[in-house]
Each structure stands twice: as structure tokens, then as C-alpha cells.
Structure 1
Amino acid sequence: MMKIFKGIVFYFLLGGSVANAAPSAQDLYDQCSEDFFVSSDVVVCLAKKLAASEKRLVKEQQHAVAVLDQWYVDPAYKEKAREKFLENNKEFKKYKKDYCNFSMSMMGGSESNSHEISRISCVASQNLYYIEQVEENLHYIRKK
């Protein structure tokens, strides 16, 4: 009986975190390809998802800086965290580009819009994952 109870608790704990996870590049592609059959339409759909993720990323980064400014902690720690966050944002841009370039290189000589579909969905997915990480880290900050 206890094993079943532990299994149910584990399922709900894990299930909650998986259900809220940022969509993968494949998830984003699947969402668009369900609605559109022609690859050019899939590219347009993914481009809209990418634009939305970029806009949300900028908004979340600005929000994070505002939250850090309101953090109830010694000013030296606040400034250090702010510097690290801004540095991390720059590193994320580089990482995202390198990661998605690597991912596309694994496609070989794919034809049609496959490379563009892969690039756009990868970048959008990375943006959403990063947003999720930033939001999670902001939960630890006590405001003034």
C-alpha cells in the first residue's frame, strides 16, 4: 500500500513539473504542423512563435532586473546578482546560437525549409526554457 502511495505522490510531483515545462523544439514544430501542411506555412507559424518568445524574453529580463532592484538584501549582493544576471543574458545569447547551430548541423543535407524550421523552433524553445529558469530563480527573492 505504501509503495502505491509513494508512486502516486511521485507521479503528481513529477507530473506537475513536466506539465509546466517549456515546449521543446519538436513540440513547437508539432503545434505548427498540426495546423499547416505546407512547409512555408509552418515556417510562418514558427516565426510568429519565435517573435512571441523573443518579446516575452525581453519582458522577463526587464522584470528580473526590476525584481533584483527591489530585493531586500545588502546592496553589494544585489549589485553582484544584477551584474551576473546581465552577464548571463549575454552568455545565453551566445549559447542559444551555438546550440541551435549544432542542432541544425545534425540534419545534414536536408532539403526544403527543414533547416529554417529547425533553427526557428530551436531558438524559440531555448528562449522559453530560459524564461522558465529565470522565473523559477526569481521565486527566491524577498522584496522590500
Structure 2
Amino acid sequence: MRTVMLVALLVIGGSALAQEESSEIPTERELREACSFDAAGVRECLDKHAKESEAALKAAESAFAAAVKRWDTDAKYAKQTRQKLSAAAAAFVKYRAAQCAWAASLGGGAIGNALEMSRLACIAELNLRRADSLQTAARELRP
């Protein structure tokens, strides 16, 4: 029971730390501005950021899974954590899709390309925030 409480505190603390460090993570607006150097290439640039952020997220998930394998706890707690990570990852994918569809809808009557650019910037930001949260949690797990 103490271990479960400790893990809960570490995850909550990790989330708070991730929020403090979030100033290093570019926002949707900052991503769009960073890609605005070439009007013709904005969408391609944002698509690249979205793909890179997806790779960063997958790497963070793998790093967290590796940290759980090294975690000095009962096997049943490690198994529960792996299961909850899997459920959280699936929920994140659904949340990201809904959130970024909403973000794109804020463009109103803008042309489809502009709406897609908003969606891609949203995906990149959310992926980077989730990756940061996982990296923080992985650092907090003690082998």
C-alpha cells in the first residue's frame, strides 16, 4: 500500500513538474509561427513537427516502460502500472483527436488547409506535453 501511495505522489509531483517545465514546450501558436517562414511550406513544416513529436512520444513511452522494468517494486504493481500506461495511452490518442478537432474548428470558415495546420500544431504540442510528462515520471521511478 505504501508503494502505491508513493507512486501516486510521484506521478502527481511529476505532473506538476511537467507543468513547470512546460515553458520549454512550444505552444500551437509558437509552432505555427516557427513554420511561417515560407507560406507555401507551412503545412509541410507543421506536418514534420507532428511526426517528430509522435516519435518523441513513442520514445518517452518506451523509456517509461524500461523504467518500470527496472523499478524496485512488487511485480504486481509493475504489471498494474504497465496496464494503466496502456489504457492511458489509448485514452490520450482519443483525447488528442477530439481536442485537435476542436482546435481546428476554431478556424471557423477558414479554408481546409488552414484548419489542418491548426490541427497539426495541436497534435505536435499535445504529443510533446505528454512525452514530457512520461519522461518526468520515468525519472521519478527508482530502480
Band the TM-score falls in, shorter-chain normalisation: 0.7 to 0.9
TM-score (norm 1): 0.80
How far apart are the structure 2 equivalents of 1:95 and 1:112?
A: 22
Q: CA deviation at 1:19?
A: 3.9
Question: Aligned pair 1:23/2:26, yes or no?
Answer: yes
Q: CA deviation at 1:88?
A: 0.4
Deviation per residue, 1:18-60 (Å, 9 max, x gap): 543x211111111111x22x2x310011111111111111111
Q: CA deviation at 1:112?
A: 5.7
2:133 corresponds to which residue? 133
Q: Moved runs in structure 1, 4+ residues, more than 6 A?
A: none
Report the secondary structure of 1:139's partner residue: helix
How far apart are the structure 1 equivalents of 2:46 and 2:128?
A: 13
Aligned residues: 124
Instruction: Map 1:54-93 onto structure 2 (within 5 A).
Output: 54-93=54-93
How far apart are the structure 2 equivalents of 1:18 and 1:90?
A: 23
Q: CA deviation at 1:79?
A: 0.7
Q: What are structure 1's unaligned runs of at least 5 residues? A: 1-15
TM-score (norm 2): 0.81
Identical counterparts, % of pairs = 27
Deviation per residue, 1:37-88 (Å, 9 max, x gap): x2x3100111111111111111111111111111111111111111101110
Write the letter of the residue equivalent to 2:34: Q
Instruction: Map 1:39-118 onto structure 2 (within 5 A).
Output: 40-111=40-111, 113-118=113-118
Q: For the pair shown, which has the larger CA radius of gyration, 1 or 2? A: 1
Q: What are structure 2's unaligned runs of at least 5 residues? A: 1-19
Higher helix proportion (structure 1 or 2): 2
Q: CA deviation at 1:106?
A: 1.9
Q: CA RMSD in A?
A: 1.5
